[in-house]
Amino acid sequence: MRLCVVVFMGLWLPFVAWAGNLPIPEQGPALRLQGSNTIGAALGPALVRGLMEDQGLLRVSSEITGRDNEQRIIGLTADGRRVEVDIAAHGSSTGFTALKQASADLAASSRPIKDSELKELSPLGDLKSPAAEQVIAIDGLAIILHSSNPLRQLDTVQLARIFSGEAKTWESVGGTGGPIHLYARDEQSGTYDTFKELVLSRQGKRLDPAARRFESSEQLSDAVSQDPQGIGFIGLPYVRQAKALAIVDGASQPMLPLNHLIATEDYPLSRRLFFYLPPWGTNPWATALVEFTQSDKGQAIVAANGFIAQTVQAMAVTPNALMPEGYQALSRHAQRLTVNFRFEEGSASLDNKAHQDLSRVLDYIKQHGKADRRVTLVGFGDAKDDPARADLLSKLRAMAVRRELVKYGVALREVRGFGALMPVAANSEDEGRVRNRRVEVWVY
């Protein structure tokens, strides 16, 4: 055993043993993870257990702390020393508050960090930098009903009317069943923040105060599945015994929360799940958990817990009459990768997830022998007053991705732009326009 000292958030902490390559504190937890219930209920603990086992710890297990939505993961070193990781899952905003108060080492969030939080946490470094803002999985907000409800789809405008209390009966949205009963996550929840941003705020509405609120995703889902008049929103792994609806946004086609539509973020209520790693004074266990999560082992755990892993795969696309002819031809001869490149808002620069995905796409291209003119990039954009301008901008976005791939020796077969065709979101708001500005990757 040897003594070393690690600097974390300005404090000198003594570490007296090592687990694999990671130091173990003399007392207290090796890592404190706080934030999103969507992540912290099951995915976060599973990733921590995976990291501990990867570090060679033995008898890794969970302990109940006696506090709701909190747990401790423990493991033992070969010489019997106990290693602890504390996880608190009270909502995304609580993770950022805990970072500010130095009561957490890593924040889990089911929404992007807000500008106000970014400013408050600036003493810890830039949490929007690529190293700090880590997309760990893709999730879809499922709109859930009782299994007996005959309704099959709703659009985002109808959803806003329902959850604001304007549409009070199922008959008012084309269904049957009388009064609508609303179920929603609590104010601290990133799931609620995402729903509010993607549905309510876009229509200038607020959640009906009569909605029943839940801190627990599982309890909300189970309540809807027992109420024939109920409707709720939930993260994808928590559909459980309820029924998920197809969702329409603007001119998009109805989309169920299916894995491939969420992986590409085409599904209207898809969202990213994050770890936020403070750049300054970082706990080595926090860094290790992020790196493990982004690895193939970590992404396999993401998939095993019901979320959508970022592992790149090729998928067949069935052509249909709603597609442009050139896109139909492409779908008959090539396969689409399960990733879309997207861009920073108001910019032609790839966003943080796109930079992470770039290495994954490159690995796929090289492992499958596609580097020599077997890749086509397809760009899309938001509607413009001049369709020719939309066509040009969509191709320029594809060219931006081409430049990155060419740097690593990929010779492309073709770069195409389809302008504002095939929207996946409404163009009426910034959020929808950003989602429509995307680049698909196809392989032959």
pLDDT tens digits for 7-34?
444 333 444 456 678 999 989 999 999 9
Residue 269 inside a domain? The answer is no
Q: What is the mean pLDDT of residues 39-45?
A: 96
Tokens of 97: 């508050």
What confidence tens digit (pLDDT) does each residue in 259-296 have?
A: 999 999 999 999 999 999 999 988 999 999 999 999 99
Residue 322 inside a domain? The answer is yes
User: 159 and 103 share a domain?
Assistant: no
pLDDT > 90: what percent of the chain? 82
pLDDT for 5 beyond 50: no
Residue 334 inside a domain? The answer is yes
Residue 268 inside a domain? The answer is no
What is the pairing mode between strands 11-19 and 22-25? Answer: antiparallel
| pLDDT, mean over the chain | 92
CATH number where 66 lies: 3.40.190.10
User: For the packed helices 387-407 and 352-367, what is the interaxial angle rounded to 10 degrees?
Assistant: 60
CA-closest candidate to residue 248, choices 167, 175, 321, 153: 153
Higher pLDDT, 246 or 1: 246
Tell me which range, 52-56, 61-65, 347-351, 421-425, is most confidently predicted by mean pLDDT. 52-56
pLDDT (0 to 100) of residue 346: 64
- Boundaries of domain holding 70: 4-132+277-304
State how far the Cα of 432 lies from the Cα of 68, in Å rounded to an integer: 36
pLDDT (0 to 100) of residue 16: 44
User: 299 and 339 share a domain?
Assistant: no
pLDDT (0 to 100) of residue 273: 96
pLDDT (0 to 100) of residue 430: 75
Count of domains observed in the chain: 3
DSSP 285: H
Sheet containing strand 4-8, strands side by side:
4-8, 11-19, 22-25
CA distances from 210 to 160, 207, 309 (A): 15, 8, 36
Higher pLDDT, 433 or 332: 332
**Residue 397 corresponds to which amino acid?**
R
pLDDT tier, 363 (very low <50, low <70, confident <90, very high otherwise): very high
User: 389 and 328 share a domain?
Assistant: yes
User: 71 and 159 share a domain?
Assistant: no
pLDDT for 345 beyond 90: no
pLDDT (0 to 100) of residue 15: 44
What confidence tens digit (pLDDT) does each residue in 372-415 have?
A: 999 999 999 888 878 888 889 899 999 999 999 999 999 999 99
Q: What is the mean pLDDT of residues 82-100?
A: 97
pLDDT > 70: what percent of the chain? 95
CA-closest candidate to residue 94, choices 29, 200, 211, 187: 187
CA distances from 360 to 22, 103, 190 (A): 26, 34, 27
Q: What is the mean pLDDT of residues 337-353?
A: 87
Q: Identify whether the C-beta of residue 53 lies closer than 8 Å to the C-beta of residue 60.
A: yes
User: 321 and 427 share a domain?
Assistant: yes
State how far the Cα of 314 lies from the Cα of 124, in Å rounded to an integer: 39
